[in-house]
Copies of this chain bind each other. A is one copy, B any other.
Amino acid sequence: MGELLGVAVLGAGHMGADHIRRLDRVVSGARVAAVADPDTARAEAALGGIGGASVHGEAEAALAAPGVDAVLIASPGPAHEEALLAAFARGLPVLCEKPMVPDPAGALRVVEAEARLGRRLAQIGFMRRYDTGYLRLKALLDGGELGRPLMLHCTHRNVSSPPHFTSAMLINSSVSHEIDAARWLLGQELTAVTVLRPASSARSPEGLADPQFVLFETERGALVDVEVFVNCGFGYQVRCEAVGETGSARIGDDHGMLVTARGRAHEEVPQDYLVRFADAYDREVQSWVDATRGGRVTGPGAWDGYAASVVAEAGVRSLESGGRVPVALAPRPGLYGPGGR
């Protein structure tokens, strides 16, 4: 496919460093051309001696660096809007980690800017769309074997939450994955959300509403429920069961090995999302590199980032009020198709 794609990576934290490693060591057809981080020493460290990449303190300088063909945004969420708009201004394709933009108003500005450009440049980092299990479930639903989908039952559990994790972040950081996955699996927008609070676990930090139970309604009447429990203690578990008119299907229960010892047959449960979804991250970035080199955008786009932002914000309001909150999306620009998502 010719020259390697030169990628500017914005942000050299945990996720940025992992993407730098992936672009350099795992993915075919790309190279790291520039890294930007306010902490340039951290950027140097993340590079780890990879040759041919420049280091910058400012995102803008990285976008302007020689050899940059595309951008991967892994900086903190509040910096995303400015970075996306700068990439659009230069006509650079972008892979932007989620959340695209945390607040709905900013997310809408990104959608509108891309719509004015008249062509799609942004892919948003909803990597579950690249997980083998989700891909099989999507294919099954689209193939019609289960009939019309009526319900999705989802589970999202983490061993423990990082410091400073808030009750709202269970919705807008954790459940945002299920928001996108539900929209994608069902091919429908979410129209309302209700957040219920069971008793919080004594193992969760004081004041954190954890677990939560979230209910989404969709435009054609399906119901999506999500247990989110970020201090479950025993592992990282992401499961999804789709129930249709003629059958059901469940992903997330498989195991790599069954061990029988000390009176029990047990399966390993992964402890971390980078383990559970390692292959999905690899496939996501490879797919983005391949499409970008071919001049295409094939993954979830700015509209998906915007819709997730609006639904998550409604969810946070429901968490606070205890009641059902309708979801109100702006009209979808023609760039994103009538029903394409």
Contacts and interface: CB of A to CB of B under 8 A. Distances in A.
A90 interface: no
List the 9 shortest-distance A-B pairs measured between CB atoms, nearest first: A247-B261, A199-B221, A266-B266, A198-B223, A254-B254, A201-B245, A264-B266, A249-B259, A265-B267
The size class of the interface chain A forms with chain B is 35 or more
A140 interface: yes
In the complex, the count of this chain's copies comes to 4
Given A140-B257, A151-B213, A249-B259, 5 more contacts: A196-B223, A253-B258, A263-B269, A265-B267, A266-B266
A274 to B, nearest CB: 15
Interface of A: 1-2, 24-29, 50-51, 132-133, 136-137, 140, 145-148, 150-151, 153, 196, 198-199, 201-203, 211, 213, 215, 220-223, 225, 227, 229, 232-235, 237, 243, 245-251, 253-269, 271, 279, 286, 290
A199 B148 CA distance: 10
14 contacts: A1-B24, A2-B51, A24-B28, A26-B286, A140-B259, A148-B202, A199-B220, A211-B243, A233-B261, A246-B262, A249-B257, A249-B260, A250-B257, A254-B256
A7 to B, nearest CB: 13
A22 B198 CA distance: 42
Contacts of A140: 257, 259
Contacts of A271: 263
Contacts of A290: 25
Given A28-B24, A151-B211, A233 B257 contact: no
